[in-house]
Amino acid sequence: MTVDFPLILLVLVCISGFLWLLDFLFLAPGRKRKVEALQSQFPEWEIAESSDARKYQAQIAQNARVPVVVEYAKSFFPVLFIVFVLRSFLVEPFQIPSSSMVPTLLIGDYILVNKFTYGIRLPVIRTKVIDVNEPERGDVMVFFPPHMNDTYFIKRVIGLPGDTVSYRDKEIYVNGERLQRDPSEDAGLDARYRIDAEFMGGKEHLMQIDKLRPAADFSEVVDPGHYFMMGDNRDNSADSRLWGQVPEKDIVGKAFAIWMHWDSFFSVPSFARVGTIQ
């Protein structure tokens, strides 16, 4: 079962904020009046170790103490609220769970996703309220795929609305033009896999093909308001070739940086791969 963390975070923010507001409006004034009355009753309450001070503290603990649940709510609400705003509207961390974006992204990479570059969306319901930019060909994008609307996926934008995307002999054609691809420095080091530098949208990125796996050719026109996504690990990626195009409403954000690599809980995190995502 997939955990809906944004929804859980929203519920925690609402509950802690409600408890803090309830205390501020209704409970705190009553405690303040009790404290003032006790200070009048024990005039030497500020003198340490005095009889009045001991009696005053005992009465405060018994009759005017802040409830524990309110103390926790007041402590956690600011932190939860800041995290909620950051994750919902600015930057969200994301872990790479599969090899579909090799060699650009590896299993265990922890990346940062820009949540506002494609527009401001309401958390949980994901409705866009402010337009900013549109995805560009070559962007590495996080989204909800049409067949699993509760799980983040990450792929590269290949086709924009109205584009004709074709795949023939492991070459990508967009609107009839083959994407330029040049061998990288380690292209021939492996008998099975080949890594090439691919040029898209005026930028260069690495991609990988499996020389032993046959490719299924196809050609498809991208629907209005949709995007055609493919993994950089072209022969080992479940993407738009399998489950279809991604509607604009299911976009999460643009992946822009790797900030850590951590293979497993029992391994040591590495920062050797820190950098921007091409």
Q: What is the amino acid identity at position 112?
A: L
According to the model, what pLDDT value does residue 1 have? 47
Angle (nearest 5°) at CA 252 between 247 and 253: 115
Q: Ramachandran region of residue 189, left (φ > 0), alpha (ψ -120 to 50) or beta?
A: alpha
Q: Measured between alpha carbons, how far is 80 from 12 in angstroms, rounded to an integer?
A: 7
Number of Cβ within a 10 Å radius of residue 239? 20
Q: Domain boundaries in the chain?
A: 5-88, 96-276
- Residue 89: Cβ-neighbour burial (10 angstroms; 0-12, 13-18, 19+): middle
Residue 144 has a pLDDT of 95
What are the phi and psi torsion angles at 143 (to 5°)?
Answer: -160, 170
Residues 6+ apart with CB under 8 A from 242: none
Q: Which residue in the list 115, 155, 170, 254 is annotated as catalytic?
A: 155
User: The whole model's pTM is what?
Assistant: 0.86
Mean pLDDT per 10-residue section of the chain, whose length is 278 residues? 80 96 94 92 90 91 91 96 95 95 96 96 91 96 90 96 96 96 70 90 92 90 98 96 96 97 91 96
Based on the residue annotation, tell me whether 155 is a catalytic residue of this protein: yes
Which one from 88, 100, 166, 184 is the annotated catalytic residue? 100
Task: Give the number of other Cβ atoms within 10 Å of residue 182's Cβ.
Answer: 10
The DSSP bridge pattern shows strands 153-159 and 226-230 to be: antiparallel
Residue 250, both tokens? 């299911």
Q: Report pLDDT for 90.
A: 95
Q: What is the CATH number of domain 96-276?
A: 2.10.109.10
**For this structure, is 115 an active site residue?**
no
Query: Which residues pair with residue 257 across a beta bridge?
Result: 112, 276
Q: Where are the beta strands (DSSP E) in the chain?
A: 91-95, 109-114, 120-121, 128-130, 140-143, 153-159, 164-168, 171-174, 177-178, 181-183, 193-200, 203-210, 218-221, 226-230, 246-247, 251-261, 275-276
Give residue 183's pLDDT.
83
Burial level of 222, CB count in 10 A (0-12/13-18/19+)?
buried
**Residue 172 pLDDT:** 96
